Amino acid sequence: MELVIDRLTKQYKNKIAVDRISLTLKEGVYGLLGANGSGKTSLMRMICGVLKPTSGEVKFNGIDVSEEEYRDSLGYLPQNFGYYPEFSAYDFLLYLASLKGLTKHQAKLKATELLELVGLSESAKKKIKTFSGGMKQRLGIAQAMLNDPKILVLDEPTAGLDPNERIRFRNLISRLGKDKIVLLSTHIVSDVEYIASTILMMKDGQIIHKGRLDEIIGVIEGKVFECSVDSKRVNYLIDNYPIINIREESDKTFLRLVAEKPPCETAVTVPAVLEDLYLYYFNEGGKKR
């Protein structure tokens, strides 16, 4: 099983949203991490055949994204998937299953199976308009899996969910990655940190890092510092370094930041985490050193 993305590019007038990206994905969960506007959604829409690329190609096991056989292998959960609020969860899945060509018998079996998988069996007959945000997202996963896809593309699936719903959702996605290619796009760092076997970091339309968590964090290992400084020093540090965290204390300010060498006398090195790397590249304040 192999999804090949070859020099994929999308240009909107004077803006290049996706810039000649080439990737080969196999079974597992891939976390696509980037700030808003980095090109994540454009990339995923091209992978799903929803958006036509300016150049480049996408193939799954040699089958082009434009072919029906490719779409038969694909499940897609966009940022805001459409649903009918007056439908029950069960009826909604039956309706979509009929559109995907499943027989009535197949649709009933699959709807029941998927509602169980996503933890909505007890709410199967309830109208979707009564669902919480997390329940709707889980229903979105179920509809994306009606055709038993080999490629599952999830665009910002945990945005707006409370912590309990996000944990449940992450656990579900992690299980699905055992025999599928799951591409999960998000700007919520912890979601990627916990479930992705491979992390793809995207900025300005390009993949700037790809690898396991420990591999990509290595870029800033030994460069993350914590320190407490007085008011005179704090503004200098904020203006000159990528600041990861600020906390006001009784008479000083606590900072966590990234630097090539200790930024002040009180700075101590601390282990790097994925959020440090994310903010190093996407922090709006401070400068990269």
* pLDDT over 50 at 200, yes or no: yes
Of 167, 191, 217, the position where a domain reaches its end is 217
**Would you state the torsion angle of the CA atoms of residues 18, 22, 28, 32, taken in this order, to the nearest 10 degrees?**
-20
Domain match, 180 and 235 both: no
Domain match, 47 and 95 both: yes
Domain match, 34 and 129 both: yes
- Spell 63-72 as b/e; 16+ CB within 10 A means b: eebeeeebbe
* Helices and strands: H and E segment counts in the chain: 10, 14
Domain match, 146 and 244 both: no
Domain match, 36 and 21 both: yes
Q: Identify the weakest region by mean pLDDT among 21-25, 41-45, 60-64, 118-122.
A: 118-122
Domain match, 194 and 58 both: yes
* pLDDT over 80 at 13, yes or no: yes
pLDDT top residue among 207 and 83:
207
pLDDT top residue among 151 and 119:
151
Compute the distance between CA of residue 255 and CA of residue 249 in angstroms, rounded to an integer. 10
Please give the pLDDT value at position 108.
94
Please give the pLDDT value at position 288.
47
Mean pLDDT over 245-252 rounds to: 88
| Locus of tokens 């009180």 | 266
Alpha-carbon distance values, 62 to 3, 51, 53, 66 (Å)? 8, 19, 18, 12
Please give the pLDDT value at position 173.
85
pLDDT top residue among 195 and 7:
7
Mean pLDDT over 32-53 rounds to: 92
Mean pLDDT over 3-11 rounds to: 97
The answer as to whether 138 is a domain residue is yes
The answer as to whether 39 is a domain residue is yes
Give the type of residue at 207: I
Mean pLDDT over 69-76 rounds to: 92
The answer as to whether 202 is a domain residue is yes
Domain residues for 38?
A: 3-217
Of 191, 217, 243, the position where a domain reaches its end is 217
The answer as to whether 187 is a domain residue is yes
Domain match, 213 and 229 both: no
Please give the pLDDT value at position 286.
42
Percent of the chain at pLDDT above 70?
Answer: 97
Using 50, 70 and 90 to split pLDDT, how confident is the model at 70? Answer: very high
Using 50, 70 and 90 to split pLDDT, how confident is the model at 289? Answer: very low
Q: 12, exposed or middle or buried, with CB in 10 Å at 0-12, 13-18, 19+? A: exposed
Domain match, 235 and 170 both: no
Query: How many other CB atoms are found less than 10 A from the CB of residue 137?
Result: 26
- Cα 125 to the chain's mean position, in Å? 30
The answer as to whether 288 is a domain residue is no
Domain match, 63 and 205 both: yes
Mean pLDDT of the chain: 89
* pLDDT over 50 at 174, yes or no: yes
Of 163, 185, 217, the position where a domain reaches its end is 217
Where is 190: in which H helix or E strand?
Answer: helix 189-195
Domain match, 185 and 272 both: no
* pLDDT over 60 at 170, yes or no: yes
Please give the pLDDT value at position 189.
85
Kindly report the CATH number assigned to the domain that includes residue 66.
3.40.50.300
The answer as to whether 289 is a domain residue is no
Please give the pLDDT value at position 284.
53
Please give the pLDDT value at position 272.
92
* pLDDT over 60 at 11, yes or no: yes
- Model pTM? 0.86
Domain match, 209 and 230 both: no
Compute the distance between CA of residue 238 and CA of residue 285 in angstroms, rounded to an integer. 7
User: Number of folded domains in the chain?
Assistant: 2
The answer as to whether 88 is a domain residue is yes
The answer as to whether 287 is a domain residue is no
- Tens digits of per-residue pLDDT, 84-104? 999 999 999 999 999 888 899
Domain match, 144 and 250 both: no
* pLDDT over 90 at 249, yes or no: no
